[in-house]
Amino acid sequence: MAVIVLDNGGGFAKVGYSTDKEPRILPNCVTKAKNVRTRIFIGDQIDDCKDLSGLYYLLAFQKGYLVNWDIERQVWDYMFGKDFLKADFNETSIVVTDPYFNFASIQEAMNEILYEEYQFKSVLRCNPSYLSQYKYRKECPDKQLCTMVVDTGYSFTHLVPYFKGKKIENSVKRINIGGKILTNHLKEIISYRQLMVMDETYVINQLKEDVCYVSQQFTKDMEIARMKGPNNTIVRDYVLPDYTHIKRGHVRPQGETTGKAKDGEQIIRMGNERFAVPELLFHPTDVGIQEMGIAEGLIHTISSMPEDIQPHMYNNIVLTGGNCLLPGFHQRLVTDARSMAPDEYDLSITNPSINPATYAWSGGAMLAQDPNFSKICVTREDYEENGHGICQEKFDV
């Protein structure tokens, strides 16, 4: 029996059959382009678009929850359809991720669409961190007791503790900072300081991924960024795409960073923005969001648990989600958490060697091979007989 694993994120959906090596990653939205009036781009069809300036996004997720089903349906129809997965629904099961603390109304709508519209044979809905900790425990058989999953994604960052594979519900914490806020903040400060880019979400997101990094010593980097001339090792010129000659923006190497545009190029000069923007993950108060940063939240979450499991939690921290791809993120989290954690506990933070953004997906692919997989799913017959109640009982979301 075929199993589709769908990690349905707010920014990107990671999807594929459980037998695939890697998932396919596609934007979980529908996009309209300024210069193409005649069509909309669903998911990764945006790669066919020649001019990516001033894109208009229609997102299925708002503030981390799935609220626009018309958009999500278009993305899913494309995803399961003949150009992509070619799913035969009656013979296929699906593992699909749900946001944490999801509303009952959204869960019921999801059940109806999966069972009644698409008519999947059976369904398993769970949080992405469940799949991440399943993979972690399978790969480290000596670490079965506790897992602390740090899931830092598009809309939020969640800190989710697991004890023997069960989520400790009342210790889950959410920090309202994700990749979307970083991109939006970067758009604002570039628009204020240099060039109006408020409509260029796509380009600025690429710029963030190409240039930004997490600083290990913030004040020291700030001092370097203030220096003039060759002493300033931080400043870089980012050449913006014009979609005629330059198809994708790129960073000039340090030697060529002069701050002057060559023949008709448009550049953005990136100084302290390179590390001041990702700093929000550790200090949200910098932009007036009165919350803890990731490191502080992590220590706070673990110290709120019973004392006898705290050392196990400190020793089994797993990082997942797209923000972990920022250079220096793992190192900074280790440094900050170590300085706040009690001295007598060992601290071990695992940064997946594979892409942290697809870690939950590969956990789902492993779970689908598990001999007990069918016991945790709800089949269509069960659903037709018992309705939403059986899903609420069986799915731990």
> Tens of pLDDT along 309-352?
888 888 888 899 888 888 888 899 899 888 888 888 888 888 87
pLDDT of residue 241: 81
28 part of a folded domain: yes
Do 246 and 314 belong together in one domain? no
118 in the same domain as 68:
yes
Rounded to 5 degrees, what are φ and ψ at 98?
A: -115, 150
Same domain, 259 and 339: no
- The answer to whether residue 135 sits within a structural domain is no
Residue finishing a domain among 254, 279, 304:
279
Query: Maximum Cα–Cα distance for the chain, whole Å?
Result: 73
What does the radius of gyration of the chain's CA atoms come to, in whole angstroms? Answer: 22
Q: Which helix (H) or strand (E) holds 147?
A: strand 146-152
In a domain, 187, yes or no: yes
For residues 256 and 164, membership in a common domain is answered with: no
CATH code, domain with 28: 3.30.420.40
Q: State yes or no: pLDDT of 214 exceeds 80.
A: yes
**Domain at 189, CATH number:** 3.90.640.10
180 and 289 Cβ atoms separated by less than 8 Å: no
Residue 226 lies inside a defined structural domain of this protein? yes
Residues 199, 245 within the same domain: yes
Phi, psi of 25 (to 5 degrees): -110, 125
State the sign of the Cα–Cα–Cα–Cα dihedral 177, 180, 182, 186.
Answer: negative
Residues 256, 270 within the same domain: yes
Tell me the pairing of strands 157-163 and 146-152. Answer: antiparallel
What pTM was estimated for this model as a whole? 0.87
- Same structural domain, 332 and 389: no
- In angstroms, the CA 237 to CA 75 distance is 36
Q: Are residues 223 and 320 in the same domain?
A: no
Residue-number span of the structural domain to which 381 is assigned: 3-129+357-394
Separation between Cα atoms, residue 209 and residue 11, nearest integer Å: 14
Q: Are 167 and 183 within one domain? A: no
Average pLDDT of the chain is: 85
* pLDDT computed for residue 269 by the predictor: 84
Same domain, 235 and 257: yes
